[in-house]
Amino acid sequence: MSEEYEIPEDLYYTEEHEWLKVLEDGTALVGITDYAQKSLHEVVYVELPNPGDMVKQGEAFGTVESVKAVSDLYSPVSGIVEEVNEELLDSPELINSDPYGKGWIVKIKPKSLEDELENLLNAEQYREHLGSLEAK
């Protein structure tokens, strides 16, 4: 059940298992959820966008590779990539060990954050989404 997964209350989520944290300066920190990293198992490589790249809500901006599969990373918001977590290039396993901390993937300067947050899930909705996946 989804109770096994860490789902912080102060984040927004996508149905594709990315999380978004709105920072004090209005930028958005993005990573993949505990559920996603556990599903992937051992992350061995992350393909990151470049700072300055435009990303669009719901569209792929990179990939994460594990011993099991390659998965696209989908942007929870539209905007410009301000920063990428370069530590992941040498230590992609940070996504497994600390998905909501040191394993963050990109920082995005959103175009219209308020409008797009409405398209994301809160922690409760994400828990329900995981529950519906596990019921299938």
pLDDT tens, residue by residue, 54-101 = 999 999 999 999 998 999 999 999 999 999 999 999 999 999 999 999
HSE (side-chain half, CA atoms, 13 Å) at 52: 1
Number of domains observed in the structure of the chain: 1
Residue 131 lies in a domain: no
Tokens of 85: 């977590």
How buried is residue 130: exposed, middle or buried, by Cβ count under 10 Å (0-12/13-18/19+)? buried
30 assigned to some structural domain: yes
pTM: 0.94
Q: Fill in the DSSP letter of residue 12.
A: E
Is residue 96 in some structural domain? Answer: yes
Task: Report d(CA 127, CA 107) in Å as an integer.
Answer: 24
